[in-house]
Amino acid sequence: MPHTAVNVLAGTPPVNLLAVERKATHGGLKKSEARDATMKQWQQRRESATGKRWTQRLVGDLKQWCKRTHGDLSCHLTQLLTGHGCFGTYLHKTGKEATPSCHHCEAADDDAEHTLLHCPAKDAPKEALKAAIGEETLWTGTLMGSMLRDRGSWTAWETFTASVIGEKLQSERERRRQEPASES
């Protein structure tokens, strides 16, 4: 379902689970107990879904994500966490790019994972991020934990995504500006 990543990033359970939660609180269940049941059911639903999607791989523990005490989502961070944005595979899927390849390193598939973990053109920002968050390597299994560790780590992720995604957006805009000139 396309709305699931939006629900996760917003920290808002799906509306049908919220309806059950509201009914339970009107039936006398404490709000905290009803919310715990909602979060448990939402987590189970995500874990039983076939095919782990990108956001699900990054944000595994819904309760931990939703209870964070710092960190607002920027447009760049949202693009990285959803995989929707200036990535070749996404742009190709939406008909805005002829191929899903990376314009920065010529990899066959440019998706959020490629940008975050594999693109050699992004090595300098990745090294700066690793130093800022105190990690030797970046991988999907530790992204959420490092983001939620403290405000400084969250800010490091924001800085990284602003730099990397911002550069990708600028490159995409430049390619679009050049398209009409090359067709003439």
Token pair for 97: 């790019």
78-96 average pLDDT score:
94
Residues 46-74: tens digit of each pLDDT = 988 877 689 999 999 999 999 999 999 99
Coil, strand or helix at 32: helix
The percent of residues in the chain predicted with pLDDT above 90, rounded, is 79
Distance CA 117, CA 112 (A): 8
Taking the CB of residue 57, how many other CB atoms lie within 10 A of it?
Answer: 14
Write down how long the chain is. Answer: 184
Crossing angle (nearest 10°) for helices 31-48 and 15-26: 150
- What is this structure's pTM? 0.86
Query: Is 42 within 8 Å of 14 (Cβ atoms)?
Result: yes
Are the C-beta atoms of 148 and 65 separated by less than 8 Å?
yes
79: pLDDT strictly greater than 70: yes
Q: 129-157 pLDDT, tens per residue?
A: 999 999 999 988 889 999 999 999 999 99
What's the pLDDT band for 180 if we cut at 50, 70, 90? low
The mean pLDDT value of the chain amounts to 92
> Nearest Cα to 8, choosing from 50, 58, 48, 49?
58
Contact indicator for 56, 142 with CB cutoff of 8 Å: no
What DSSP state is assigned to residue 120? G
Q: What is residue 24's predicted lDDT score, i.e. its pLDDT?
A: 97
For 98, the enclosing helix (H) or strand (E) is none
Distance CA 129, CA 142 (A): 13
Query: In which band, very low, low, confident or very high, does the pLDDT at 39 lie, cut at 50, 70 and 90?
Result: very high
pLDDT at 175: 86
In this predicted structure, the answer to whether residue 183 has a pLDDT above a threshold of 70 is no
Q: What angle do CA 171, 173, 176 make, to 5 degrees?
A: 110
Q: What is the pLDDT of residue 184?
A: 46
Cβ neighbourhood burial of 177 (10 Å; 0-12, 13-18, 19+): exposed
pLDDT at 2 over 60: no
Give the angle subtended at the CA of 70 by the CAs of 64 and 76, to the nearest 5°: 95
